[in-house]
Amino acid sequence: MVQRILEAGEIESLDHNAIPRLLLPQAAGAFTARAARLRQLAKGDVTGTPVGATLGGYLTLMAALVDAQAVVSAALPKDAVTLPPLADMQQAHAHHMPLIPVNGERDPVWRRIFASLLDHLDTIAQSQPQLTQVLGELRDLNDSALDACADAVLAEDGAAVNPLHAPFVAAALQVLWTVQAGMLHALEVPVLETGTLCPVCGSHPVASAIRIGGQSQGYRYLQCGICSSEWHMVRVKCSTCESNSKIAYRSLDPIDAAEPLVAVDGAIDASALAQTAKPRNKANDPKKVARAETCEDCRTYRKIFNQEHDYHIEPLADDLASLTLDLLVSEAGYARASGNPLLWFSAEG
């Protein structure tokens, strides 16, 4: 049974005509949609985000990992994942803090989720020796090393984690927190003092999306990189410092597509551009589908994807596929505000 913070009748009495402040995920559906989008992007079928062969291969691998997330999350017994104690959530609510914080104590079930994800990847690993090696290394991690890796992932500490291990650990953590987020009611989740962190788990957003349909039509939502919750933030406002005075948008031209992902000494080098991949059709305007929102006050950026111009956008997947945009904006002197849990670079890169 899902624990409730609001008393009976309180939810029904609240205004249901207002802009939806929070969109909570349903794990299996969220992961299935993400995997489908990753495969679409990997094929280079999204004009707004052309993808080269090397990056396409990585996206295909991540799609398989996200497929495993969908299967594992759907197969979890009903009582395998629980919410924090009611008293803890009530206290968090009273102090405008996340209800299921990533910096709190982790449910040990996440290790079971992690092991199940690796098992589901064994089939595709049979034809990929490098993946077989990585899966073997991950299985060899003891509980202490695995928890240290999880701590680094949740803290976004790239210097403290193996970039080849991190996406798989992040995937297990995503399953745990996404399942928990789906157990909440949006109206139970408090408004935080800052709009730049996820109100559900306290993580950073990976990117944002302009949504369509129903009460969300035309509104911008930030997507959490860990629990997949999406929360409303007004457009033309920095998602890092919340300034709205010096916001600008940068986007790719149709021919600005390269594959910025190659293996270097077992790590990932984002600066190596191998070849150009050109868009396959002119159905979408790339300058409207995928853009980087830059802020002159804090000199950071996050990407924003427009569902009005591509119905199938999925912020985490589209962010992962648009590395060329990262490189161009970085070259212009802006720092990325936060990372993508499914892609980590070497500390030297």
Give every CB contact of residue 273 below 8 A, 6+ residues apart in sequence: 258, 259, 260, 324, 327
Find, among 55, 39, 51, 49, the residue nearest to 287 by Cα: 49
Looking at residue 18, its pLDDT comes to 74
**What token pair was written down for 178?**
């996404």
pTM, whole model, 2 decimals? 0.87
Q: How many helices (H) and strands (E) does the chain have?
A: 11, 10
Cα(348)–Cα(267) distance, rounded to whole angstroms? 9
Q: Kindly tell me the burial class for residue 17, based on how many C-beta atoms sit within 10 Å of its own C-beta (0-12, 13-18, 19 or more).
A: exposed
Looking at residue 314, its pLDDT comes to 98
Looking at residue 19, its pLDDT comes to 84
Cα(289)–Cα(200) distance, rounded to whole angstroms? 27
Q: Where are the domains of the chain?
A: 21-336
In contact, 229 and 174? CB cutoff 8 Å: no
Counting as low any pLDDT under 70, the low residues of the chain are 1-17, 254-286, 347-349
| CATH classification code of 21-336 | 3.90.1670.10
- pLDDT tens, position by position, 285-313: 667 889 999 999 999 999 999 999 999 99
Task: Supply the mean pLDDT for the chain.
Answer: 87
